[in-house]
Structure 1
Amino acid sequence: MTPQAIAQRAYSQTAAPTRTPRDTEYEAISKITRRLKAAAARQKSDFGAFVQALHENRRLWTVLASGVTDSDNALPNDLRARIFYLAEFTEQHSSQVLANKASVEPLLEINMAVLRGLRQMGAT
């Protein structure tokens, strides 16, 4: 093996695309949203998985709410307030979904809207 091939092989193994915090956030929300959507489709046959997916979504929004209350958070105050409100809504609505008094659709729509917003912010 030539020195160039060895160098290329060594560097190609460690070279990975740089991920921004926004990319990581997008990936986490996307993953949880996909799980929730899939679990909602199987809700009648696998209620346990549905409950777990709702729980993961609640945890996600708890983390997001915690992040926007941090004084070091650089987001504009009105966006921070809206994220906090959505976290509160998600908590309350999830309880209604579990009590079979509401649909999971609004939770999925909220997550999808956030994903669209993160993509638009990344494109600017």
Structure 2
Amino acid sequence: MNAILRAQNAYGLSNRSIRTARDTEYEAVARATQNLKSAADTNPLDMAKLARAVSDNRELWTLFAVQVADTDNPLPAQLRASIFYLAEFTNAHSSKVLSREASVDALIEINTAVMRGLRDAGPAK
């Protein structure tokens, strides 16, 4: 490897943007949302794929609930309460989806709204 290529590689690593917690959360919610959409769009419905997507989404929301329940969480109390409520709703609605009493649409809408909020909130503090 010549010196120019080594320099490009070294500087290339430092030019990558720094990933914030908000970026990580956005990507996790986006991935869960895409998996829900993909599972819902299979025809005929692939229950195993849907169950995995719903389970992964539920796990993500459980993680959010644990994080906002922490008294050291810096988010405002009202926002933390709202996120906790959404986690509870997501858990209950997920059960309905898995028992074929509801569609994934509400889960997708919630995730999409959260993604929009994460993008519109500006830089992380």
Q: Fold-level match, TM-score > 0.5?
A: yes
Match of 2:105 in 1: 105
Alignment check: 8 A CA contact 1:36 1:50 kept? yes
Please, which moves more after superposition, 14-23 or 60-69?
14-23
What are the ranges of 5 or more consecutive residues in structure 1 without an aligned counterpart? none
| Residue in structure 2 matched with residue 82 of structure 1 by the alignment | 82
Aligned alpha-carbon RMSD (Å): 2.0
Letter in 1 for 2:102: A
- Tell me if structure 2 keeps the 8 A contact 1:22–1:122: no
Tell me the distance in 1 between the aligned counterparts of 2:9 and 2:48.
46
**Deviation at residue 46 of structure 1 after TM alignment:** 1.6
Uncovered stretches (5+) of structure 2, i.e. residues with no partner: none
Alignment partners' CA distance in 1, 2:52 and 2:43: 11
Residue 26 of structure 1: aligned partner: 26
Match of 1:58 in 2: 58
Alpha-carbon distance between aligned partners in 1 of 2:8 and 2:23, rounded to the nearest angstrom: 27
* TM-score (norm: length of structure 2): 0.89
Q: Is the 8 A contact 2:58 2:94 kept in 1?
A: yes
Number of aligned positions between the proteins: 124
- The verdict on how the C-alpha distance between 1:104 and 1:43 changes in structure 2, with shifts beyond 3 A counting, is farther
Aligned residue type for 2:109: E
3-state DSSP of counterpart to 2:108: helix
Task: Give the C-alpha shift of residue 71 in structure 1.
Answer: 1.3
TM-score by length of 1: 0.90
* Deviation beyond 6 Å, 4+ runs, structure 1: none
Distance 2:74 2:37 in 1: 31
